[in-house]
Amino acid sequence: MALVEIRDVHKSFQRGSEKIDVFAGLTLDVPQGSFTALMGPSGSGKSTLLNLVAGLDRPTSGSITVAGAPVSSMSPGQLAPWRARHVGFVFQQLNLLPVLTAYQNVELPLLLTRLSRKERDERVRLALDVVGLSDRIKHFPRQLSGGQEQRTAIARAIVADPTVVMLDEPTGQLDARSSQDVLALLRRLNQEFGKTILLVTHDAHAAATASTILHLDKGVLVEREKAAVS
Amino acid sequence: MKIPVLYNVRSVLQRPLSTAFTALGIGLVVAVFIGMLALATGFRTALTSTGSMDNAMVLRRGADSELSSGVGREQARIIAASAHIAAGSDGRPIVSPEVYVLIPLPRPADTTAVANVVVRGISASAWEVRTNVQVTEGRKFESGRSEVCIGQRIAGRFEHTGVGETLRFAGRDWTVVCHFTATGSAFESEIWGGNEELMPVLRGDVFQSITFRLKDAAAFPDAKRVLEADQRLGVDVHRESEFYAAQSQLLDRILRILAYLVTTIMAVGAVFGAVNTMYAAVSSRSSEIAVLLTLGFRPRSVLASFLLESAIIAAVGGVIGGLLALPINGIVTSTTNWSSFSEVAFSFRVTPSLLLSGFLFAVVMGVVGGFLPARRAARIPVVQALR
Amino acid sequence: MKYVRLVLANLGRHKWRTFLTTAGIALALFLFASLRTVVTTIAATAQWGGARRLVTLNATGIVFPLPLNYAERLRAIPGVTGVTWANWFGGRYGDNKRFFGQFAVDAESYLAMYPEMSVPDDQREAFFREKGSAIVGRRLLDVFGWKVGQDVTIQGTIFPGDWTFTVRGVYTPTDKVLNDDMMIFRHDFFDEKIGRAGIAGWYVVQIDDPDHAGRIAKAIDDLFRNSSSPTKTGTEQAFNASFATMWGNVSLLMGTIGLAVVFAILMVTANAMMMSSRERTREVAVLKSIGFPDRVLFGVVMAEAAVITLIGAAVGLGVAKVLYQAANFNAAGFLPGFSVTTGTLVLGAGIALLLMLASGLVPAIQAARQPIIVALRRVE
């Protein structure tokens, strides 16, 4: 069984008087421990798909199962704790709460657990160490560079040891150098720590970091690429 | 180059709820301001309109109110013969020796409570001495009978005060034969009866005051000097209008101080609200400000623009406050004038000048509250705002 | 508890806004407490009165005196255990800017009737010994800088002339509702100087049992009903209550102003919370995407409202309580015992709670109900 099973998913939006169909019956699997990139032009539905898998949105029809949980049919009240346990999400920008330090931002998912203060502290420090920001613990987001912000967001995404890490265009706002750092980190998370990663991007270079590239166009899976072994 | 006011008006309408809250907060402060001063003004007006510039009042030397004064019949006779008194149409001097006491009347709302109401014993010429008094119902009382006339402000508010009814005080029954008005002055809170009927049951042969019409209003200082110098008398002479004005001073001052204190504290809170609103406005519109600066508007204009915006919101509040306070105009209430210990009924007076003061007060609050945020707006570095 | 950081951090986002809103609430509650204390103080004076004391006035009105020979006849009434009398003097002192009550009293019986006026024994003796002496309230020493032993001259108004007394004693009220700024002097001194036949302003009659008050009052009034000065007798408390109504409808006035104050501060607080919530939508979306349940978001927003309102209220009410106590405020004698009651504090806390709910509920519900996707899409 794959970690993520997407079966015949339809999703449509109402924009004004128009009805827009993003997916018309999408089916695909994401295996455990894989590093999958979702590529496609703007409007192809890749971000939407990510949101559906994370339980942030609900498909019009079809089913999505993540680690055995029927995400597409769970209620918001059930999805919240499920997400806390199983998903680490990184947006393109504005991930962090500006009023909290890097440490406090990373700690956020752990506040939803029953861990003691000491246990939380251990994990936060570990996560920040993994992303290479141990010396920026007490900084506020406005004191961090774009790349450092994204790495902090990644630290937050992994601190609770989620089942799958999902990133929506994480390097979209970064310069080449920072992008490199972030992508290298992701590769390490996948290869060294075995994290399942789902990455949405329109940047071919970023996608190349992944082991599998899925191409979406107008809501349809057009190609499945296995990346060259690096 | 001035930033058009339309920009401010539109921006204010963009955040209707926030604007409404801020304006309402200021409006409530203005309403309380106007309301409390209307109370003080109403009281003062009732007292000051009681006395006339053309009349003089004689009290015993050292007495600070009619209540504590005592003037004997012999002295009353001497005073009545004074050359300073104007003569009436019948040739007789317009002078009224009067008795002034307080009697307890039970309050209708709570009969265990008692109001101290003024009973004034007058002579027939009193109606002539006081030109602002008018009988509205019934007829004037006749000498030799146990009859009284009741001021309009007492009439509605106490039991047995209707024309034709019988009021009991000082151990006797009195028939109410008329109601009178006196241009809203303190006389309207009084009960009037004939001296000759009242004196035997009240204080005996002593008057409390002598009031007369000055033959020449400008010659008051002479009249005062002559009468006060007379060794047989031992009196103080006051201009009637000044006397009553002085009587209102204590309570008027208390009400005014209370008004200023309360509204100042409220105003600080409302200004804080305005500051919050304007700071939020400035920070949410920082890119707009940057655009304005880039276009060539001066920082000074930006400051003025935001100040104006704050003032506009406050002005709306000022109008709301005025509208909230307006309905209380004319409402009758009563209190005890501690200077004379008597119950005085009066009505709230919301004057145009009070409404204007309230409006200006609102604008000032708006300007004060908007100043610091406006200054920040003017100081935004263009580059930072555009990012 | 672990979400405390989140609550405080949100409040710290706009420190000025938090501070100004909290300060505004503090001011509003200070004002509310002050206004309500005027009402409670007047109510307290309206309820004060010795359970075993009756006040006998001239039925025609308070400005009419009573003959002194009534004293003997009052003492003879069954149930009466003590009689004293007093006269309102109403003089002016100095520039008359500070009013205080002056009374001529029958020295020994008056102090015996009012143990609440505590006077040191030696001063009491001096008062009984010296005809021209006076006992003054403790506060008058502070207000006028008087010292025991000095002469004080009052201008009589009702009883004309210059009246000079020697201050021989100071009384301290054992009950704070009793004015601490009155002056009492000797009735025999008063009688001599006015030269007239003995008159009393009013009598105070002590009775054996509070339950007999009605019966004894009626007995007194019946006794004098057909004389030249008929009487009206009632309990001291009833007399004070009647006096308190002379202010007018103070509670209505203060209540109306208080309402306006609360509404005005509600505007300020609700506005501040609303502005914060508008700026918070992105953060709420991020927190929800992490998996924070709706009810936690609700709680965080309500907690923010709670911190502002409760701290503001605590400061405002606390300052009111402490300030008036420390300043020994009594509105120049008009409001003795002016002090913020526990009832007022509780009411103030209730208002703070109301403010918290009224200003925090809508933003809290909005945060809880906010759909994640809408917020995310709005930004990206």
B14–C contact, CB cutoff 8 A: no
Residue ranges in chain C whose pLDDT is less than 50: 378-380
- With contact defined as beta carbons under 8 Å apart, do B317 and B24 qualify? yes
Q: In chain A, how many domains are there?
A: 1
Q: What is the distance between the alpha carbons of residues B330 and A183, in angstroms, rounded to a whole number?
A: 78
Q: What is the distance between the alpha carbons of residues B51 and B66, in angstroms, rounded to a whole number?
A: 13
Sort out which chain B residues have CB atoms less than 8 A from C241's CB and list them.
112-113
Sort out which chain C residues have CB atoms less than 8 A from B39's CB and list them.
253
Residue C253, CB half-sphere, CA atoms under 13 Å: how many? 25
Hey, what amino acid is at A50? L
**Across-strand partners of C69?**
none
- With contact defined as beta carbons under 8 Å apart, do A210 and A36 qualify? yes
**What is the average pLDDT value for chain A, to the nearest integer?**
87
Q: Which two tokens stand for residue B242?
A: 């000044």
What are residue C255's phi and psi, to 5 degrees? Answer: -65, -40
Mean pLDDT of A53-80: 89
Please tell me which of the candidates C156, C246, C261 has its beta carbon nearest to residue B266.
C261
Ordered strands of the A4-15 beta sheet: A18-30, A4-15, A61-66
B279–C contact, CB cutoff 8 A: yes
Within a domain: A21: no
Give the pairing type, strands C161-173 and C151-156: antiparallel
C289–A contact, CB cutoff 8 A: yes
Domain boundaries, chain B: 5-48+248-386, 97-210
Chain B nearest-CA distance from C120, in A, is: 33
CA-based nearest residue in chain B for residue C88:
B68
Name the percent of chain C lying above pLDDT 90.
66
pLDDT at position B384 is 59
Identify the residue whose tokens are 């346990």: A85
Confidence of residue B383 (pLDDT cuts 50, 70, 90): low
**Lowest mean pLDDT segment, chosen from B243-247, B284-288, C305-309, C325-329:** B284-288
Q: Where are the alpha helices (DSSP H) in chain C?
A: 4-13, 15-47, 70-75, 107-113, 121-129, 138-144, 187-194, 213-224, 236-244, 250-279, 281-290, 294-327, 342-369, 372-379
Please tell me which of the candidates B32, B104, B275 has its beta carbon nearest to residue C20.
B275
C379–A contact, CB cutoff 8 A: yes
Confidence of residue A227 (pLDDT cuts 50, 70, 90): low
Identify the CATH number of the domain in which residue A97 sits: 3.40.50.300
pLDDT at position B382 is 67
Question: Is residue A106 scored above 60 in pLDDT?
Answer: yes
pLDDT at position A218 is 77
Residue B303's contacts (CB-CB under 8 Å, 6 or more residues apart) are: B374, B375, B377, B378
- With contact defined as beta carbons under 8 Å apart, do C202 and C55 qualify? yes
pLDDT at position C170 is 95
Give the pairing type, strands B134-138 and B172-181: antiparallel
Sort out which chain B residues have CB atoms less than 8 A from C265's CB and list them.
25, 269
**Across-strand partners of A87?**
A164
Sort out which chain C residues have CB atoms less than 8 A from A100's CB and list them.
5-6, 9
Confidence of residue B109 (pLDDT cuts 50, 70, 90): confident
**Lowest mean pLDDT segment, chosen from A70-84, A216-230, C4-18, C303-317:** A216-230
Hey, what amino acid is at B54? D
pLDDT at position C376 is 63
Within a domain: A53: yes
Chain B nearest-CA distance from C81, in A, is: 26
Contact B62 C64 (CB under 8 A): no
Chain C nearest-CA distance from A113, in A, is: 11
pLDDT at position B112 is 72
State the best of C286, C297, C369 to mutate against chain A, taking most chain A CBs within 10 Å. Answer: C286
Task: Report pLDDT digits (tens) over C162-220.
Answer: 999 999 999 999 988 899 999 999 998 998 888 876 788 999 999 999 999 999 999 99
Please tell me which of the candidates C247, C263, C270 has its beta carbon nearest to residue B336.
C247
State the best of B17, B60, B69, B114 to mutate against chain C, taking most chain C CBs within 10 Å. Answer: B114
- With contact defined as beta carbons under 8 Å apart, do A110 and A159 qualify? yes
Hey, what amino acid is at B202? L
pLDDT at position B49 is 86
Mean pLDDT of A37-62: 86
Please tell me which of the candidates C5, C292, C379 has its beta carbon nearest to residue A94.
C379
pLDDT at position C379 is 41
Please tell me which of the candidates C248, C263, C267 has its beta carbon nearest to residue B335.
C248
Inspect the structure and tell me whether chains C and B have 3 or more CB pairs less than 8 Å apart: yes
Q: Which two tokens stand for residue B357?
A: 């003061």
Within a domain: A208: yes
Q: What is the distance between the alpha carbons of residues C258 and C34, in angstroms, rounded to a whole number?
A: 10
**Cβ contacts from A onto C, under 8 A:** 72
Q: Please, which chains are in contact with A (at least 3 CB pairs closer than 8 A)?
A: C
Contact C6 A100 (CB under 8 A): yes
Largest CA distance in chain A: 54
Residues 174-193 of B with CB under 8 A from C: none
Mean pLDDT of A160-174: 89
Q: Which domain holds residue A133?
A: 31-58+74-226
Please tell me which of the candidates B28, B103, B107 has its beta carbon nearest to residue C263.
B28
Q: What is the distance between the alpha carbons of residues C310 and C325, in angstroms, rounded to a whole number?
A: 22
Sort out which chain B residues have CB atoms less than 8 A from C25's CB and list them.
269
**Lowest mean pLDDT segment, chosen from A2-6, A40-44, C126-130:** A40-44
Please tell me which of the candidates C35, C160, C272 has its beta carbon nearest to residue B276.
C272
Q: Pick the closest to residue B187 from B332, B349, B346 (CA basis).
A: B346
Question: How many angstroms separate the Cα of C167 from the Cα of each of B64, C110, C120, C138?
Answer: 25, 17, 14, 12
Hey, what amino acid is at B117? V
- With contact defined as beta carbons under 8 Å apart, do C269 and C75 qualify? no
Q: Pick the closest to residue C378 from A160, B154, B317, A91 (CA basis).
A: A91
pLDDT at position B132 is 87
Within a domain: A156: yes
Within a domain: A54: yes
Confidence of residue B68 (pLDDT cuts 50, 70, 90): confident
**What is the average pLDDT value for chain B, to the nearest integer?**
89
DSSP B314-364: HHHHHHHHHHHHGGGTT-EEEEEETTTTEEEEEE----HHHHHHHHHHHHH
DSSP state of A9: E
pLDDT at position C63 is 87
